[in-house]
Structure 1
């Protein structure tokens, strides 16, 4: 598979000085506009983060469907949906409908979710882990039901009093091929191996909730290797896909330098929910320097899809320029070629 690139937006909005996204409406409409601009540049994917109880994007399917309706080639997806909060059958209906609108361009990332402001936030949505299990167990069991539903399994039965017979019922609509475009956001090597056992693609971000003392890209590359080895043992009839994300801020103008000139940094190691974790670095500087650095990034080289995070509050025009710079000067160094002429 040819390497693909996409952008990843957190969809922040704040009514503060300098923000181009003052409201939720701004963040939503500008996400659609940026996806259109990215498609024109030749970028392959438009991805959004999903966070609840925050001034960020939270309900992805209306947004993804709107992107699908306004574009023709670019893929759209999530990185990631927190399955603790989801009704898996209703989500299966939404995902299938969105994928049909997109004509098979949906790339859906799901996971256990990340640390959040809310205390037991999923419980406010009505979801509590059963006695003796964890919230991670809850997210996994919901994911398994979601996968079964989009694969066409019977998840309900007819009422014999009305149908005259007891028979299995699938969720509707169904979208052929969607199950092959579900990605698990794995924060450890063990969860990556679990994702392989269910036939999900692997989505690995700039945070891993474990640390072995090696640089981030090497730890992530080890996760990718173990995932692909596990995939091979299960005998799936297709090749697995892997995505990684990177924070890349090329400096080409004085405005870039004002915003990001001093923000470059190495890996960070710290405690996350009591667990030692490793965070990937931010790549900031001249485009050719970043290109050379990413060309040496082991996980970037091993991945099929590289997602570049964007500072969405700086607006569509600014972020489209960043993406154009990445597409022209950075992405070719990692093996990417544009799907359409720039």
Structure 2
């Protein structure tokens, strides 16, 4: 169990940014407002999810570009961008641009794999190359090379009145060390470590060596660090769904409890052919949640978290939850807000 002398170092949160198709602006404004609130409350980081052809944030880089102009301190992350939807060179340009705009606050998280429902979307996404695309780790390796300043072309210099660079521009030197991999398997944890990335571990993992969520997540943390050049100092952020109820109304508490209970059955055993394990949502007052976290095997080996906000709540609910995390739960975990 972590000791008071080993406090939680970084506290962040993650939002999916849902919106109504009839009024998408309101939902995006709510997301930006939540990020601004996070900065006022002293959170270290704010992360956004990525959803294509759904009613959630489809362009996290654009949203974080806007957030970078409405905040000055809080770190801004993606958890995660599935690079199967992306051209690595173009994504590297976008990430570097937002990092420059935010004065070095961007923390891009990515993952591999074919796009969801690929057979239905490939003709729109890759009409000529749909059956040739490689959705493995090589796609992330290319992204890393471009972000870290490796050559994208053997051509550079002056042509007429235009000047060309051999690497992606703008180049943001610190961004390469702030790239995260969102992984849920031993293989992904190992690959992220071998390529000197940071590691995001969420509330979904693959049941490979156990059917106990905390044990599985712990094995991923250790596998990552065992293969990372920084060893035990390599950065890992844990993301669980956490819903403190300290200042919640009775109606909110009942709704939060119902939300978690509906999702609990999927946490009892591995789900589907991929044997995915889901972590239970942590609902209760901050002292109760802190006790459960201190007993969590993986939490015991991390010093930063990005707690996930529930998907379907209202803006006012997120204000209450974030306020309780920052003012109640964080201090229970030894964290102190940044000035």
TM bucket normalised to smaller: 0.7 to 0.9
1:293-312 paired onto structure 2 within 5 Å: 293-311=292-310
Equivalent pairs, count:
323
CA distance in 1: counterparts of 2:137 and 2:188, whole angstroms: 10
Q: In the alignment, is the contact (CA less than 8 A) between 2:113 and 2:135 conserved in 1?
A: no
Whether the 8 Å CA contact 1:187–1:204 is kept in 2: the answer is yes
Matches within 5 A, 1:149-298: 149-158=146-155, 162=159, 169-231=166-228, 235=229, 239-251=233-245, 252-262=248-258, 263-264=260-261, 265=264, 267-272=267-272, 274-298=273-297
What CA distance in whole angstroms lies between the structure 2 residues aligned with 1:76 and 1:243?
Answer: 14
Which sits farther off after the overlay, 248-257 or 328-337? Answer: 328-337
1:317 partnered with 2:313? no
TM-score by length of 2: 0.86
- The whole-number CA distance in structure 1 between the counterparts of 2:196 and 2:122 is 26
Report matched runs for 1:1-20 at 5 Å. 3-14=9-20
Tell me: CA distance 1:160–1:31, structure 2 relative to 1, closer, same or farther (3 Å). closer
- Check if 1:54 corresponds to 2:67: no
Secondary structure in 1 matching 2:252: helix
1:67-113 residue CA offsets vs partner (Å, 9 max, x unmatched):
11100110111100000010111111100010011101001100015
Deviations along 1:103-137, whole A, 9 cap, x unmatched? 01001100015883553535532185765xxx7x5
Tell me the alpha carbon deviations over residues 157-177 of structure 1, each in whole angstroms, 9 at most, x when there is no partner.
3289948xxx97111100111
Task: Give me the CA root mean square deviation.
Answer: 2.7
Q: Does structure 1 retain, via aligned residues, the 8 Å contact 2:207–2:275?
A: yes
Mapping of residues 72-221 of structure 1, within 5 Å = 72-112=72-112, 116-117=116-117, 119=119, 121=121, 124-126=124-126, 128=129, 138-158=135-155, 162=159, 169-221=166-218
Asked if structure 2 preserves the Cα contact closer than 8 Å seen for 1:35 and 1:46, the reply is: yes
| Structure 2 unmatched runs, 5+ | 1-6
Residue 44, structure 1, aligned to residue 33, structure 2: no
Counterparts in 2 of 1:122 and 1:104: CA distance versus 1, 3 Å: farther
